[in-house]
Structure 1
Amino acid sequence: MGMLRYLRLAGFPVSLGLTSALVGGTLNRVMIVETGLPASFVGMLFAIPLLMSPLRVWLGYMSDAHPLRGLRREPYIVLGAALIAGAVSATTLALFHLPPLSLPMVALTVLLFAAYGLGKNLASNTFEALLADKFKGDQRPRAVTLSKIAMFGGIIGGSLLLGRLLDPFSPERMTLIVLTAMAIVFLASTFGSLRQEPREAALREASEKARSLSFADAIQTLILPDPQVRRFFTVVMLVVIGTLTQDVLLEPYGALALGMSVGQTARLIAFWGSGAVLAMMLAGMVLIRRLGYHRVLRIGVLTGAAVFFGLILAGLLKSPILFVILVFALGVSTGLSAASMLTAAIEFTTPARAGLLLGLWGLAHELGQAIGSLMGGAVVDLMRALTGGDILASYGIVFAAEAMLLLLAVRLARGLNLRESAIFRAEAHGLSLQPASATSDSLAPLA
């Protein structure tokens, strides 16, 4: 029964991966190609969930401080899954039953993507907080890494399955598949999360401690003044920008600089994904336990910096084979960095502040990803205009910039010691951080 309970935990990350494949891949394409919506409008819709990521911090605080029916995690995960399933299902129905770009269609889809973003941020953040509550010690890196691998499995498996089921395409077939998939997502998320939250008196006391500060006071007292919190936030952002800016660049670079075909560049994501999954498994099962997440993060980030300089060399040598090897190595770098950062984030949580702190790291990740996506395309376009279309120079500048950001992240991470955070120091001494004027008194014995 214990093993079954652990296996059930995979229900949510697998469902999240399936949803990502459906929304980011299939629904994105259908909205632009089959329904003829402008790409700019679709891009705006897909930016809405990302723009809602600052809510993760508040949602995390609500999960910490305001249990529903005595539980801090399970009800919020189920509520988030319901919002996800309902919003995606309703969006599909609206696409095929409302006139394109009519006022009702535009207003409804904007509202539904906002509901999808709210549900995704709520459920994802609370699930990570559940892992922090449930697992301790060496179990944590394995648990968080396997949850990410389960999500990758949902993305890959969902993409393959949706590709087969939607051929040939019709609105009726698409609607039936989406409604079925979203029912599975809700049921699997619910079944996977029920009876998973520890029923401990200490966690009930932690909720009371979380409620002792309002959300605004928690931000002003716990987050903003703490140099370790600020440093970790910056490190996460720099690593994400440095490793994910290339998401929209690798396939065009392979085509323009190396003359690779559409089929060859389409397979790059498989090489990258294979490297990421293998690295995450290795990090979660072995490396973090033996080396610590600091060293694994350093190895992953330095590997990524070296790979970006290698991508420039591959373009100079016109070597598609070297390029593919480097893409796999970039996946390894991303997997090591992601596993170590998530482990660090969960290790930094406290019983009273898990949702709040994980919301903060989720915000850093989403913000870094948004900046990276904007930076990559904008810099390439600018450099192509300035260099008369020089592909190697344009893409090489971006790759070199990513490498430098990763090296800066390594430097900043040297001074990172989350156990020196005021949050940890206060809880270790049984003290409560208080807002405004009480803060200095509550921390005085720790100075």
Structure 2
Amino acid sequence: MTLSWLSIVRLGLVQMCLGAIVVLTTSTLNRLMVVELALPAVLPGLLVALHYGIQITRPSWGFLSDTGGHRTFWIVSGMIALALGGWGAAASVVLLETSFALGLSVAILSYALIGLGVGASGTSLLALLATATAPTRRAAAATITWLMMIFGIAMTAGVVGSLLDPYSASRLLTIVAIVGGVAVLLTLLATWRVEANVVARTEPDPMPFREGLAEIWAEPKARAFTLFVFLSMTAYFMQELILEPYAGLVFNFTPGQSTQLSGAQNGGVFLGMVAVGVIATGFRRGSLRAWVIAGCGGSAAALTSIALLGQAGPTAPLLPAVIALGFFNGMFAVAAIGSMMKLAGEGREAREGTRMGLWGAAQAIAAGFGGLLGAALADIARQFTADASAFGSVFLFEAALFLSAAWMARRVMASDPPLASLQPGE
């Protein structure tokens, strides 16, 4: 048996909960540290990078879920760890007001726990989707789960932002505790008996983790896809820390306008994901490989436009180009996740979780590396040239990375068949 549409939506609720807790650390707590506590922006940046770095443990979590045959246990356990880490991170902000050393110590431990929780829960969730979703539903499953994650991020940021005013430490701790508690409860309800109703492949005679990981790395397609994930996600995240400063410095956007620009970009991501889900699954048009290549190529074109608009001056129409970037980013991302699900089931059986963990680790490392790389390159370039040219050169470099990723996708996913050629249940 494979996952029904209802089960896919239920598992999407878990992804929504993951996004809801993580966004507190990347937006709300980040803002409190920099503005209310007047701490250097590099501090929350390094803490977020820590949580990404800890996710190098994702292959271990995937291996455990493969060999144990209880992915639901790791999904729920990871969510509990994530909720505790999120509350600890909020507590560290409160402690930083009175004791920097104590607050920083609690923050480091909490962000490490967040990374472990995301790794355990997220990897096991994707492994379950990869093993139990029918091939014809994978693009839609990836779309549904990621759209729900974006919804969870947007909803939590908006609601928590409104409830935090007027700000107080007790209000912050209460709100974060409620968000974490609701996330754990929803995860328990969403995963209840889902795994028990589908065919779950597990390793009957588990080998040591290092041997299992080495076995996966020895598969040419898995190894090549890992490199593709790292390259494409580095390109995906390079603009994360520099797009809003670019809008402010080159186009004279106010803080409110640059925030709205970021919201418009996320709106484009949403539309791109919906487009792939509807056309690929509903109309059976195009293969996942074709959608990945189109998303990478379109992202490169949008980044080139953004770079050239900076040369045209502050009155140039930046907003449409940023929405287009979001659209093609969303198209690429959801097709890449669908491809992960497809490729996770290829090669040796009962290693889906390990493969998803390996690719999840590559994605997490690329997320931290890409953001820092983009910011560093922009800072260096600004020492030698005007802001428009400095930022533009980074966007062009990012576009080149996307084109390289498109070429690599063509090679790695060469055997990917059109979705229209697949019959239900294949």
**Whole-angstrom distance in 1 between the partners of 2:49 and 2:393:** 26
CA distance in 2, matches of 1:368, 1:235: 11
Per-residue deviation, 1:134: 2.4
After superposition, the Cα gap between the structure-2 partners of 1:95 and 1:197, relative to the gap in structure 1 and judged at 3 Å, is same
Verify the 8 A CA contact 1:384 1:394 in the aligned structure 2: yes
Q: 2:212 aligns with which of 218, 224, 227?
A: 218
Q: 1:191 aligns with which of 171, 189, 192?
A: 189
Checking the alignment, whether the CA contact within 8 Å between 2:59 and 2:213 is kept in structure 1 is: no
Specify the alignment match of 2:419 in structure 1.
Answer: none
Question: Could you say which structure has the larger radius of gyration?
Answer: 1
Paired position in structure 1 for 2:423? none
Classify 1:138/1:96 alpha carbon distance in 2 versus 1 (closer, same or farther; 3 Å).
same
Q: Which residue pairs with 2:334 in the alignment?
A: 339
What is the deviation of 1:3? 6.3
Q: Summarize deviations over 1:33-59 as a string: whole Å, max 9, x none.
A: 334544443333222211112100111
Q: What stretches of structure 1 of length at least 5 have no aligned partner? A: 421-447
SS at match of 1:267: helix
Pick which of 377-386 and 316-325 moved more: 316-325
TM-score (norm 1): 0.86
Secondary structure at 1:260 match in 2: coil
The answer to whether the Cα contact below 8 Å between 2:143 and 2:274 also exists between their aligned partners in 1 is yes
How many angstroms apart in 2 are the aligned matches of 1:37 and 1:244?
24
> CA separation in 1, counterparts of 2:292 and 2:96?
48
TM-score in terms of structure 2 length: 0.90
Structure 1 residue 94, shift from structure 2 partner: 4.5
Q: Which residue of 1 aligns with 2:170?
A: 172
**In 1, are the aligned partners of 2:8 and 2:141 still within 8 Å (CA)?**
no
Partner of 2:361: 363
| Residue of structure 2 equivalent to 1:149 | 147
Equivalent positions of 1:31-180 (< 5 A) are 31-67=33-69, 72-96=70-94, 100-180=98-178
Change (3 A) 1:281 1:105: same
Distance 1:22 1:259 in 2: 28
Taking the aligned partners of 2:208 and 2:414, their CA distance within structure 1 comes to 23
**Conserved 8 A contact 2:310-2:316:** no
Q: Does 1:402 align with 2:398?
A: yes
Q: Tell me if the contact between 2:83 and 2:180 (Cα under 8 Å) persists in the aligned partners.
A: yes
Matched residue count: 409
Which residue does 1:326 correspond to in 2? 321
Q: Gaps (5+ residues) in structure 2?
A: 417-426
> Are the counterparts in 1 of residues 9 and 145 from structure 2 also a CA contact under 8 Å?
no
**Gap change, CA 1:190 and 1:300, over 3 Å in 2:** same
From 296, 306, 312, give the equivalent of 1:311. 306
Q: CA deviation at 1:215?
A: 1.2
CA distance in 2, matches of 1:391, 1:220: 45
In 2, Cα distance between equivalents of 1:356 and 1:58: 7
1:300 to 295, 299, 310: 295
Check whether the contact 1:37–1:100 (CA below 8 A) recurs between aligned residues. no
Alignment of 1:201-240 (within 5 A): 203=200, 206-208=202-204, 211=206, 213-223=207-217, 225-240=218-233
Give the aligned partner of residue 29 of structure 1: 31
Instruction: Identify the residue that residue 423 of structure 1 maps to in structure 2.
Output: none
Q: 1:250 to 1:96 in 2, by over 3 A?
A: closer
In 2: Cα distance, 1:260 partner to 1:236 partner: 33
Task: Please state if 1:241 is matched with 2:234.
Answer: yes
Aligned partner of 1:383 in structure 2 is 381
**SS at the partner of 1:109?**
helix
Aligned match of 2:179: 181
SS of 1:147's partner is: helix
CA contact (8 A) 2:16 2:152 kept: yes
Provide the rounded CA distance (Å) in 2 between the counterparts of 1:80 and 1:419: 35
Partner Cα separation in structure 2 for residue 142 and residue 283 of structure 1: 8
Alignment-mate amino acid for residue 276 of structure 2: A
Alpha-carbon RMSD: 2.2
Q: Is the 8 A contact 2:232 2:402 kept in 1?
A: yes
8 Å CA contact 1:88–1:112 kept in 2: the answer is yes
Aligned to 1:262: 255
CA contact (8 A) 2:59 2:353 kept: yes
Give, as a single letter, the amino acid of the residue that structure 1 aligns with 2:325. L
